Amino acid sequence: MVGLFEFLFKYRPALFEEGRFTFVSPGWMQVAALLAGALLVIAAFTYRRLGAGTADRTAGADRLRWLPPVFRSLAIGVLVFCLLQPALVLSTVVPQETFVGVVVDDSRSMAMPDEAAAADGTRAGAVLEALSGESGSMLDRLAERFQVRLLAFGRSAERIESTEQLRFGRADSRIGEALVAASDELAGLPLSGLVLLSDGADSAPAELGDALLTLKAAGTPVYTVGVGRPRLRKDIEVSRVVAPRRVLEGSTVEVEVTLSQTGFGGRTVDLEVEDDGRIVNLEQVTFPRGGSAVTARVMFAANDEGAREFRFQVAGQPDEELLLNNERTALVEVLKRREKIFFFEGEPRDESKFLRRAVSQDENLHVVSMTRQAANKFYGMNFDEDTRRFEGFPTRREELFEYSGVILGSMEASFFTHDQMRMLVDFASQRGGGVLLLGGRRAFSEGGFAGTPLAELSPVVLYDRPADQGRPELMTDLRIDLTPQGRGHPATLLRDDRDEANELWPTLPPLSAYQRATELKAGATALLQAESPMVRDPMIVLAHHRIGRGRAIAFTPHDSWHWQMSADIPLEDQTHERLWRQMLRWLVSYVPDRIEVEADRDRFEPGSTVTLRATVRDEAFQEVNRAQVVAAIEQPSGEEVEVPLDWSVERDGEFVGTFTARESGLYRVEVDARSEGELLGVATSRFAVDELNEELFGAARRDSVLKRIASETGGRQVGLGQADRLVEDLSVSSEGTLVREARDLWDMPILFLALVALLGGEWAVRRRLGMA
Amino acid sequence: MKESLNRGRTFAAVAGILSLALLAGGLSARDENWRPAAPEVETPSFPYSGGFTFARIRFEPTIWGGGPFMWGLDLKWNHDYPFAEENFTRIVDEITDVEVQTEGGNVLELSDPRLFEHPWAYLCEPGFWNPTEEELENLRSYLLKGGFLVIDDFFDIRGYPVQWENFERQMGRLLPGYELVPLTVEHPVFRSFFVLDDINFDIEDARFYPVRGRIYGVFEDNDPSRRLMVAINYNMDIGDFWEWSETTFYPVDVTQKGFKLGVNYLIYGMTH
């Protein structure tokens, strides 16, 4: 398209955009206009006379009569336009007085063999040939008009004297930082612009936008030259791994792994999960035929305490172009600690006994229970020296908020004061805790939750049930099965094998429930449901939704203990134990601590700046801004560095500090938060420093990046073999030492073609009318 | 006359000895596990209600006969039935928040799968208990899965622990290697609802056996710090206290204590 434009109009659209249109000889204008007017009058007169003398007039001939004068007039107009000497005024650089920085990507991804233009087929080869090849090299062409400075970049840009210094072996390629560094390097010189030769693979953690703003402010246009193919022919890539940063020991870890591919549609590959060289899961993933990416949900048990590096990899396929992007690692901290859960039960019943019994052997869960045995008579269990004692339900936030989760059994809403109900909602929404609502004769609608703050917690829609309706009816023989969302969910995965787990549910003994829960609230998800002859729609058995920072879960059956006691369940069966262990771990997963610290990512390149963010809250989980927060960082060598963290001002309770991680290996951060000398708490976190090869992911040429850099800085994207065009674009840049130059437009081919077409058209019409 | 009398006595003696010998021979020729079959009797059955339903264990006793119990039969397992559970469940309903079936209770054999719908069960007169292997297997599974069993109402005269020995033997078959641990008043079961400072249920009255009652326990994994699975009232009969609570047959304080202990057993069983 651009080529056609250039053929017709003599110059590329870019030059028309840069330049200003003018007529070089304005003195001719009046004479030319008079002449043109006179010619038009003569022409009109001639045609009128000719028409009157024609004997055989027809209707068709009448319609065409006006055309010849129009064609003739336009042809004269074109000639007049040419006589006026139209021109394009451009600001061009003064030869050898301005500078151009040529910034070459020197990273490993440039060794990719996907550039047909090069003799050796690599991107690097193509760049070298284009820059300093024998025929019309880019550097030579640029040097004809500019002072050229050559720079190579990986993490940052450095001056090099010749292309021989390029190695194409750097592990990183941070385009934004490199361009800013190059602009700084050439600051103070009349700079026409930078030429970036890259595949667009940017491994920088920071958004490119900041760097582009800096370049724009400095008035440095960047002309980008892309190398490589915009799409690899055959490649599989582990493009994304989303894993939790922390899990409890023995928990099922759920990780989302996105695999991208080109050329392998329909193929089934093995996705392996390794923990310290040991395969902990193997998932078969089939790529869709039409699409390119697929996201697999992988689950495995995290049984070993400490910081674990889980590796997710797909074995290289025989004909694959790039194998280094077939794996990624995720750092997961497996914690051995006891999450505290408060179980408040409204009546002694087998369900609560068996639930507590199911998790009693789990060292990571500490269930403290308070059971109402009779009116105003409570029985507390499992309180220890770490837990505050209270009678009934807590009345102070500090008492409740020290737990990560709350289980609410069969307890009617009227038992609670309004403040207690509000506090329970705040426990989820503000403290970020998990609330599990169990079914029972006094729970949900049957317990009068509707219209109270407790209704906010319920993921199922509640209805008003007057208290004088008596004991609710028990629905029995509920056969429970998974919903589509429940298949493969970590809470419902009762067997290691996912298919086996899915098939297990309908075979479990039927349960019963008092709750007629058939409608989900907006935003809630059901994981389990059951059919009952007593209700028309499927009954919701397990559902959850988010409430502010936290989460609420509803489990409506009244007697899951049958899955432990039933005569059909073998003694050694662990289904019931596993269900409740998983459920309670899910309940308290991602529940924030009072003091928390996190690095901005879990893995960094050596030399990276690590930003540490700590959140500090008091016992009632109110953010604290006036605190002294210090991070002690234990480096892989064992050496410890202290970094003070300061209040970020942007958010309450947030403290930030930075640290440069030079050593490779695993780092441990321990944050100590104090207020007026008193210890508020400590928190720990880990991160890893390693060569990440980020640029090998999404390794095809990234035109979107290159285009964005060019358009946001006022530059342009050009092809590898378009050195002439590049020189021309740089020459008419508004930067550098400039001179005005007028370029003729009267000889544009379009004008000649227009003239020929108009005169030819006139002749044809006249011939048709018999006037030729 | 005297001679004929003597001859007659001699004949009677010989005949008696022969009869005894024959009886002994006949008895010894039987299967070791032979027991006289108790009559089949119908008991009401309550369907699963979602709440607590009293479960009484029915078994074939080693000896049975007529007696002052239900249906005029002494089947051993039916001692105090059905008044004991009727009175007990009414008390439970009155003073606790437990959802309870107050019309009576279910009577279940150990081989009945419905036993597993009742995680709290009651068995009396284990001195006459001789369960089959299938019954033992079921009960073992029931207890290890989380069921709670109260054993009540068996007595021995001091120095002749016949009933205890049978009970101990059957428990050895049920849970080999598990110990019968004497419980002290400090155990949580005596604080699970009522705080019992005294667990002496002996009655100093000439009408009753001069026995010394004792409560034993069998613990999960044989570890007294863990869950109590079986509570054993030896030389005690709290079911009797429940049964006769509407009369003045037993002193009021002991009757009250009997109910308290029963409620504590129930609450403990439903919370531990």
In chain B, what are the domain boundaries? Answer: 1-32, 41-271
Residue ranges in A593-744 assigned as alpha helix (H) = 703-713, 723-731
Contact A749, A36 (CB under 8 A): no
Contact A560, A406 (CB under 8 A): no
Q: Tell me the average pLDDT across A163-170.
A: 86
Q: Which pLDDT does position B35 carry in this prediction? A: 59
Q: Quick check: helix, strand or coil at residue A342?
A: strand
> Which residues are CB-contacts of B72 (< 8 A; sequence separation ≥ 6)?
B66
Q: Which pLDDT does position A167 carry in this prediction? A: 87
- What residue has token string 């700084």? A184
Reply yes or no on whether the pLDDT at A299 is more than 70. Answer: yes
- What residue has token string 């007294």? B224
Reply yes or no on whether the pLDDT at A142 is more than 80. Answer: yes
The alpha carbon of residue B233 is apart from the nearest alpha carbon of chain A, in Å, by: 23
Q: Which pLDDT does position A60 carry in this prediction? A: 60
Tokens of A4: 């056609």
Average pLDDT for chain A: 88
Q: Which residues of A touch B135 (CB under 8 A)?
A: none
Tokens of A547: 């409430």
Contact B239, B167 (CB under 8 A): no
DSSP letter, residue B224? T
- What residue has token string 């369940």? A569
Which superfamily is assigned to A95-228+700-733 in CATH? von Willebrand factor, type A domain (3.40.50.410)
Q: Tell me the average pLDDT across A758-771.
A: 85
The CATH class given to the A595-689 domain equals mainly beta
DSSP letter, residue A754? H
Reply yes or no on whether the pLDDT at A80 is more than 90. Answer: no
The alpha carbon of residue A410 is apart from the nearest alpha carbon of chain B, in Å, by: 11
DSSP letter, residue B220? G
| Torsion from C-alpha of A65, A67, A73, A76, nearest 10 degrees | -120
Residue from A353, A372, A475, A563 to probe the interface with B (highest B Cβ count within 10 Å):
A353
Q: Which pLDDT does position A651 carry in this prediction? A: 93
The answer regarding whether domain A339-588 maps to CATH 3.40.50.880 reads: yes
Least confident of A450-459, A689-698, A756-765, B227-236: A689-698
The alpha carbon of residue A300 is apart from the nearest alpha carbon of chain B, in Å, by: 28
- Which amino acid makes up residue A577? E
Task: Give pLDDT tens digits for B34-43.
Answer: 556 778 888 9
Reported as a pLDDT band with limits 50, 70 and 90, residue A11 is confident
Q: CB-based contact (8 Å) between A352 and chain B?
A: yes
| Chain-centroid distance, C-alpha A566 | 48
Nearest to B50 among A357, A373, A512 (CB): A512
Task: Give pLDDT tens digits for A663-696.
Answer: 999 999 999 999 988 999 999 999 999 887 777 7
Q: Which pLDDT does position B4 carry in this prediction? A: 45
* Identical fold, A95-228+700-733 and A339-588: yes
Handedness of CA A654, A655, A661, A667 (dihedral sign): negative
Q: Does the beta-carbon distance from A561 to B146 stay under 8 Å?
A: yes
Reported as a pLDDT band with limits 50, 70 and 90, residue A456 is very high
Q: Does the beta-carbon distance from A347 to B99 stay under 8 Å?
A: yes
Contact A35, A77 (CB under 8 A): no
Which superfamily is assigned to B41-271 in CATH? Domain of unknown function DUF4159 (3.40.50.12140)
Number of A–B residue contacts, CB under 8 Å:
82
Q: Which residues pair with A333 in a beta bridge?
A: A246, A307
Domain boundaries, chain A: 2-92+742-768, 95-228+700-733, 235-335, 339-588, 595-689
DSSP letter, residue B46? P
- Return the CATH number of the domain spanning residue range A235-335: 2.60.40.10
Residue from A344, A350, A558 to probe the interface with B (highest B Cβ count within 10 Å):
A350
% of chain A residues with pLDDT over 90: 49
Average pLDDT for chain B: 88
Distance, CA of A359 to CA of B112 (rounded, Å): 28
Neighbours of B212 (CB within 10 A): 12
Least confident of B77-81, B131-135, B246-250: B246-250
Tokens of A650: 């942007």
Neighbours of A592 (CB within 10 A): 15
- Residue A490, preceding bond cis, omega within 30 degrees? no
Calculate ∠ Cα B229-B232-B237, nearest 5°. Answer: 140
**Phi/psi at A302 (nearest 5 deg)?**
-100, 95
Reported as a pLDDT band with limits 50, 70 and 90, residue B28 is very low
Distance, CA of A605 to CA of A329 (rounded, Å): 13
Q: Which pLDDT does position B2 carry in this prediction? A: 43
| Chain-centroid distance, C-alpha B147 | 16
Reply yes or no on whether the pLDDT at A770 is more than 80. Answer: no
Residue ranges in A84-155 assigned as alpha helix (H) = 123-132, 138-143
The alpha carbon of residue B141 is apart from the nearest alpha carbon of chain A, in Å, by: 6
Q: Does the beta-carbon distance from B98 to A571 stay under 8 Å?
A: no
Q: Which residues of A touch B192 (CB under 8 A)?
A: 379
Tokens of A116: 């047909």
Q: Which pLDDT does position B3 carry in this prediction? A: 45
Q: Which of B186, B149, B138 shows the shortest CA–CA distance to B266?
A: B149
- Expressed in angstroms, the distance from the first to the final Cα of chain B is 77
Task: Give pLDDT tens digits for A351-361.
Answer: 999 999 999 99
Contact B156, B166 (CB under 8 A): no
Least confident of A41-50, A56-65, B66-75, B210-219: A56-65
Contact A323, A542 (CB under 8 A): no
Q: Which pLDDT does position A567 carry in this prediction? A: 97
HEC sequence for A178-234? HHHHHHHHCCCCCEEEEEEEECCCCCCCCCHHHHHHHHHHCCCCEEEEECCCCCCCC
Residue ranges in B30-149 assigned as alpha helix (H) = 83-95, 133-145
Nearest to B50 among A381, A559, A564 (CB): A559
Reply yes or no on whether the pLDDT at B5 is more than 50. Answer: no
Contact A151, A159 (CB under 8 A): yes
Residue from B91, B145, B191 to probe the interface with A (highest A Cβ count within 10 Å):
B145
Residues of chain B with a CB closer than 8 angstroms to some CB in chain A = 48-52, 95-99, 113, 115-117, 119, 138, 141-142, 144-147, 192-193, 227, 266-267, 269-272
Q: Which residue is closest to B114 within chain A, CA to CA? A: A567
CB half-sphere exposure, A404, CA atoms < 13 A:
20
- What residue has token string 């220890």? A384
% of chain B residues with pLDDT over 70: 86
Q: Tell me the average pLDDT across A603-629.
A: 93
Distance, CA of A105 to CA of A82 (rounded, Å): 47
Least confident of A439-443, A611-615, A755-759, B134-138: A755-759
Task: Give pLDDT tens digits for B198-238.
Answer: 999 888 876 777 778 999 999 999 999 999 999 999 999 99
